Structure 1
Amino acid sequence: MKKQALAVSIVAILAGCSSSDSTPVEDSLNLRILHINDHHSKVDASEKQSLNLGGVETYVDVGGFPRLVTKFNERDSGNVLKLHAGDAITGTMYYSLFRDELPDALMMNQVCFDTFALGNHEFDDGNEQLAHFIKTLTTSEEADACGTDVVAANVQVDPSNPIAGLYTPYEVYQFGEHQVGVIGIDIGDKTKDSSSPSEDTVFLDEVETAQKYIDKLKSEGVNHIVLLTHYTYENDVAMASQLSGVDVIVGGDSHSLLGDAETFAAMGQPISGDYPTILTNADGNDVCIVQAWDNAKAMGELNIQFNSEGNVVSCDGHAHLPLGDNFTADSKGKEAHSEAELKAIRDYVAATAEVSIVAEDATTVDKLAYYSAQIEERKQEIIGSSDANLCNERVPGQGHASGSLCGVENANRDFLNAHGSVMANIVTDAFAHLSLRSDIALQNSGGVRTSIPAGQVSVSHAFNVLPFTNYLVNLDMTGQEIVNTLEDALDNVVANNSSGAFPAATNLRFDVDLNKAKGSRASNVEARRRGENSWHPIKLDETYVVVTNDFVAAGGDSYLSMVPAFEDDNRREDTGLLYTDSLINYIKALHAEGKSLQQPTVDEMAVQNFIPLKSN
């Protein structure tokens, strides 16, 4: 898909650009880039998000493709490129339940992106499934294909690979006499380590490859260069100064919200940097770097003026957060705002460029509703079987109602009394199965909501066990931090009677004595690294990769020793994987191997020996 020639010599400076008060340079190009990244199959709105608008704490729906389509259409004027910086798929039921139909492709084609860059999660289900996604996006009439170009300069495959010929290193777009090159870059090591590309998929060095294709395009007379990267904001910033000839970097992967610090702080949303972040490239010329948050909650708008030599004269813009019109005073939507509060909210929205009340595009709503209506039906799909009642428990021996399948008269009750939740242990097995880089998996037992009975297992069973919208994160943690996390959790159980904080784990096992003081309740802590069969005493000064849900990683249930790693971008990897998907995929994988879910053996349980709290 190539942009048609436009009379750019007489095009007025784009509205919202910082150069709007300057005189256009003869033969200059004024370009608007509208972009998103990392929507992770979150095609509908993020419901009841907490924002502070005009000094009022409110809850409102944010984003979703029906609103994004409206916003893209609203800002699509002049010389425009519509870009997606990768990680379109995996993360919600709209992908895991519709891998054949791929509503993500349908929703993306309502925007009709010019270019899409491959992200690491595009490879989660292998190259054959990725080929199916690309074809659905680019050529399927059922998905309203509009010819989006797919780019990935540093991804190489054999000619026989399923994705061979379905993407290119770059694309060139024509605006009047001007050409704009868009080069795709994917994050190599993360894709190899955390996704499932085929063995013949090679990921070249990101910076070297970017420079190679910048030089190629420059030699062919293309002097406006955009990198469309799935490489993290931090890597984009570091790369900018190393490259000659780059003008714009539109990024993804790190889920970075960029913008004015004061504006977003007032709304209660921390930012990672300025929108745009303006640095200098290796030539000493300006390079503009942008990213637009995640999960379809924002659309970025970058307005750039280039001079006749193709260098950036100025760039400006911001992330747009498209809001619903359903403001409520509580997250359940039951408590209404006062008239004065609603006026303050609406006055603030009207005066603030970064937020706007956006009507949903009717056509997109109808197309999405077709899949939304099927989700409950698809939950009844049988995905495997269980050879035993997989009983839940919070604190061992507690007899929590969520483990009622294994009551007092059940033989499994003795196992639960001694070792805790079977279901939570299986959940952590599923986490480790889906997170390909992790050594250890941790989960709070309260996040596991029920048991799975013996017999056929459906998608609905998995939803009932893990009903929340939590995502998996990988954390680089020392052995000492892991032990401290166990102590945090156990202290919450003892001090606050918070039974749901009790820890479950895979590749981590320990003894528990709730009667001891904090710091000594977990003992004989042993660990296994990924792929190892033998256990070893946990090495306190060494680093392990721990996968967990984002609730406890951020300190939920008093898992406070995880917080330093979670808040350190160099130690946290946001996988974008819905934790419910981990259980569904794990059960399906077992079934494909002819296996069923089974009660773990004692040596695989996190709790090896348990001494309950003595009553006074």
Structure 2
Amino acid sequence: MITWKRTAGAAALSLVALLAGCGGSDDDDTPASPAPNPAPVASRPMELTILHINDHHSNLDSKKKDLKLLNAAGSRVTVNAEIGGFPRVTAAFQALSAQAPNVLKLHAGDATTGTLYFNRAGEPGEADAALMNTVCFDAMTLGNHEFDKGDSGLKRFIELLHAGTCQTPVLSANVTFGANSALNPSRAPDMVKPSIVLQRDGQPIGLVGLTIANKTQQSSSPDAGTLFSDETAAAQQQIDALRAQGVNKIVVMSHIGYDYDKRIIPNLSGVDVVVGGDSHTLLGPAALSTYGVGSPAGAYPTELRNKDGKLVCLVQAWEYSQVVGELKVSFDANGDVTACAGTPHVLMGDTFKIGGAAPAPADQAAIVADVAASGFLRVQAPDAQATAVLQPFKAKVDAFSASLVATVPQELCSRRVPGGPGSRDYGRSSVACNTLGNVSLHGGDIQQLVAQAYLEVANANYGGADISLQSGGGVRVPLLGNVTAANVIEVVPFGNMLWRLDVTGAEVKSMLEDGMQAVYGPGGSTGPYPYAGGLRWDVNAALAQGSRVSNIEVRDNASGNWLPLDLNRTYKLFVLSFNATGGDGYKTLANVPAARRQDIGVLDADVLQAYIDKQARDPVSGLPVLNLLPISLYSTKTYSE
């Protein structure tokens, strides 16, 4: 029988149970601090199972996804299936926990921010906390987005997380809360701990939390006095303290990103396992791509060596409640890892569609067999209790989606590409819009407004930007009259996150030419046409590749003056993840190195809604009014073809 206990103070290794945990287990935790006379522990070999998620970002509902699965003829065809959703996460944790003796259930950060569940379903983070408590995690590390509502907002989220019986410990070794912070230890002792010790089968296991420092300081909203220290130094300090207590099995819960994890592991002594987050990294076999799940960045687990030359197992579980990672770790009597293996379980339903219809019986049988043979696709029924917990929050989100959020007195016309009668995108705009003619000269009003929204909200809420970029085809519908929250999502329906890239002026010019080539080059289409906030230019579509854009100007945020683009200056670009990774032919952005790109992690529709909320309100309806932007802000100054 496994005994899990919760202890406190330097007596962590005395194995005295003080509190009962949740989910039928008693979990021991204590912050690491050197004990003057640590109790002796008889270390012995053990097998540990770590179940984990990260970066679910308020994605609590399932979603539809096209997979590539074998039909009866042995061909891979597009099959639509339901993927993920937090009730499936809960069910998978329960099922996998029941199959292993020594289990840790971990969340590696960024539980919040990303869908309407975060801020339109009750208090910010309330729905996430409620669903997380259906899993009853043994620990969570703080991600950068846990600070999006400031230290007080984070404190309230932790209070919501601790409202039930689970009392999930919240960890971060490299945060120091300011003197006036609601989370300063003088006001909230032990609400956030640097590390804890858990017991599994009588063996102490140390858990250390890390939060990505620069990104959180610059792009989230921690209080002014709250600081984040170097991740490597903070981790090593806690590892050393744990080992001084006799703890020889160390798991770092790291919300710093896969590439950063790979860089710091060789510089850490005493670390055994790193459970990662922040970079939304899919790990696993190459077959994940074959099956249409996604392109894995590495193996699950990724094996590295620490500073001592000993084996370290690194894992991450993708994003958005779609994957539950299952890591099996073997420790010898010295607490060193001898082997690790595991599975990134992609959670899915058992209803399949081909071309919108149910598969023929033979195809259905082949699909079911192919799913089973994959080794990572896991058909998982949602947990009934978690579904019931989600329901009242879902009702609030549905009600908000139908609510009025803005009014538009003059149509915000949609047009991907400028041009007069007979041009390739002329018919996309309404007759009224084409009669007015601005869309023919400067492009779509709604496209331009979305780009401007990104820029203004970046400067208000997310650490600032000089310019923004939006592909014309990524903005799907015009707006006129009363606008619901659902209409806002229809404008930008693809669920992209916003990134910030540091780009040179030369790269800005190249970026714009990439967009033009994707429109006017061989096989081009209208969707990639660039719209920008804080940036404008002249277009001659008839010119050769690399020469279509000229007279590029950047608007100075402070003065409002337009200045020539400086090819040697570095600009902060706020852009969708889709374009930042090369989507719509933006090759220049895809080649920007990792050191100059940052995933802000906020959803495009949330940014647009934040912009709407800041607009002046109609005196009668009380709704924000969305007006046409001044022509001077349109990114296409002049257009010829």
Q: What corresponds to 1:93 in structure 2?
A: 116
Q: What corresponds to 1:13 in structure 2?
A: none
- CA offset digits 1:226-280 (Å, max 9, x no partner): 110101111111111111111111000111112233x334324321112112222
Deviation larger for 249-258 or 532-541? 532-541
Correspondences of 1:57-136 after superposition (within 5 Å): 57=77, 58-76=79-97, 77-98=100-121, 100=123, 102-136=126-160
CA change 1:39–1:277 in 2 (3 A) is: same
Q: What corresponds to 1:32 in structure 2?
A: 49
Q: What corresponds to 2:628 in structure 1?
A: 599
**Offset at residue 150 of structure 1 (A):** 0.6
Structure 1 distance, partners of 2:517, 2:632, is 24
CA change 1:530–1:386 in 2 (3 A) is: same
- Secondary structure of the structure 2 residue equivalent to 1:501: coil
Q: What corresponds to 2:393 in structure 1?
A: 371
- Secondary structure of the structure 2 residue equivalent to 1:241: helix
Structure 1 distance, partners of 2:150, 2:508, is 32
Asked if the contact 2:329/2:337 (under 8 Å) is kept, the reply is yes
Deviation larger for 381-390 or 417-426? 381-390
Q: What corresponds to 2:67 in structure 1?
A: 50
- CA offset digits 1:372-429 (Å, max 9, x no partner): 33333202444456675544333335585765495466xxx25444333332222112
Q: What corresponds to 1:238 in structure 2?
A: 263
Asked if the contact 1:506/1:604 (under 8 Å) is kept, the reply is yes
Q: What corresponds to 1:564 in structure 2?
A: 591
CA change 1:214–1:26 in 2 (3 A) is: closer
Structure 2 distance, partners of 1:182, 1:558, is 43
**Offset at residue 286 of structure 1 (A):** 1.6
* AA partner of residue 177 (structure 2): V
CA change 1:177–1:529 in 2 (3 A) is: farther
Aligned pair partner of 1:158 in 173, 178, 197: 178
Asked if the contact 1:440/1:545 (under 8 Å) is kept, the reply is yes
Structure 2 distance, partners of 1:382, 1:502, is 30
Q: What corresponds to 1:474 in structure 2?
A: 500
**Offset at residue 591 of structure 1 (A):** 5.5
Asked if the contact 1:62/1:323 (under 8 Å) is kept, the reply is yes
Asked if the contact 2:102/2:201 (under 8 Å) is kept, the reply is no
Structure 1 distance, partners of 2:239, 2:335, is 13
What TM-score results when the alignment is normalised by the length of structure 2? 0.83
Deviation larger for 103-112 or 524-533? 524-533
Asked if the contact 1:227/1:248 (under 8 Å) is kept, the reply is yes
Asked if the contact 2:122/2:393 (under 8 Å) is kept, the reply is no
Q: What corresponds to 1:17 in structure 2?
A: none
Structure 2 distance, partners of 1:500, 1:398, is 17
**Offset at residue 47 of structure 1 (A):** 1.1
CA change 1:280–1:550 in 2 (3 A) is: closer
CA change 1:171–1:532 in 2 (3 A) is: farther
- CA offset digits 1:274-333 (Å, max 9, x no partner): 211222211222211111111111111111122222222222212111221122224xxx
Asked if the contact 2:44/2:335 (under 8 Å) is kept, the reply is no
CA change 1:52–1:476 in 2 (3 A) is: farther
* AA partner of residue 49 (structure 2): R
- Secondary structure of the structure 2 residue equivalent to 1:253: coil
1:515 partnered with 2:542: yes
Structure 2 distance, partners of 1:387, 1:352, is 53
Asked if the contact 2:348/2:378 (under 8 Å) is kept, the reply is yes
Structure 2 distance, partners of 1:543, 1:342, is 54
CA change 1:55–1:67 in 2 (3 A) is: farther
CA change 1:188–1:406 in 2 (3 A) is: farther
**Offset at residue 355 of structure 1 (A):** 1.9
Structure 2 distance, partners of 1:121, 1:436, is 13
1:247 partnered with 2:268: no
- Secondary structure of the structure 1 residue equivalent to 2:341: strand
Correspondences of 1:142-541 after superposition (within 5 Å): 146-164=166-184, 165=188, 166-261=191-286, 263-268=287-292, 269-330=294-355, 334-383=356-405, 389-396=411-418, 398=420, 404=430, 407=433, 413-432=436-455, 433-434=457-458, 435-453=462-480, 458-494=484-520, 498-528=525-555, 533-541=560-568
* AA partner of residue 174 (structure 1): Q
* AA partner of residue 604 (structure 1): L
* AA partner of residue 64 (structure 1): G
- Secondary structure of the structure 2 residue equivalent to 1:481: helix
Query: Matched residues, percent identical?
Result: 37
Structure 2 distance, partners of 1:374, 1:177, is 45
Structure 1 distance, partners of 2:443, 2:267, is 53
**Offset at residue 582 of structure 1 (A):** 0.7
Asked if the contact 1:285/1:311 (under 8 Å) is kept, the reply is yes
CA change 1:351–1:396 in 2 (3 A) is: closer
- Secondary structure of the structure 1 residue equivalent to 2:274: strand
Q: What corresponds to 1:3 in structure 2?
A: 4
Asked if the contact 1:42/1:91 (under 8 Å) is kept, the reply is yes
Asked if the contact 1:27/1:308 (under 8 Å) is kept, the reply is yes
**Offset at residue 202 of structure 1 (A):** 0.3
CA change 1:532–1:222 in 2 (3 A) is: farther
Q: RMSD of the alignment, in Å? A: 3.0
* AA partner of residue 48 (structure 1): K
Asked if the contact 1:34/1:299 (under 8 Å) is kept, the reply is yes
Structure 2 distance, partners of 1:581, 1:224, is 41
Structure 2 distance, partners of 1:224, 1:370, is 41
Structure 2 distance, partners of 1:43, 1:437, is 29
**Offset at residue 344 of structure 1 (A):** 2.9
* AA partner of residue 118 (structure 1): L
Structure 2 distance, partners of 1:591, 1:152, is 40
Asked if the contact 2:505/2:565 (under 8 Å) is kept, the reply is yes
**Offset at residue 366 of structure 1 (A):** 2.5
CA change 1:491–1:258 in 2 (3 A) is: closer
Structure 2 distance, partners of 1:157, 1:271, is 36
Structure 2 distance, partners of 1:556, 1:323, is 27
* AA partner of residue 591 (structure 2): P
CA change 1:557–1:232 in 2 (3 A) is: closer
- CA offset digits 1:570-589 (Å, max 9, x no partner): 45433332211110112223
- Secondary structure of the structure 2 residue equivalent to 1:344: helix
CA change 1:161–1:31 in 2 (3 A) is: same
Deviation larger for 186-195 or 40-49? 40-49
* AA partner of residue 45 (structure 1): S
CA change 1:193–1:405 in 2 (3 A) is: farther
* AA partner of residue 137 (structure 1): L
- In structure 1, stretches of 5+ residues that fail to align are 9-24
CA change 1:286–1:468 in 2 (3 A) is: closer
- Secondary structure of the structure 2 residue equivalent to 1:198: coil
Asked if the contact 1:529/1:544 (under 8 Å) is kept, the reply is no
- CA offset digits 1:176-224 (Å, max 9, x no partner): 4321111110001011222122211100110000011111111122222
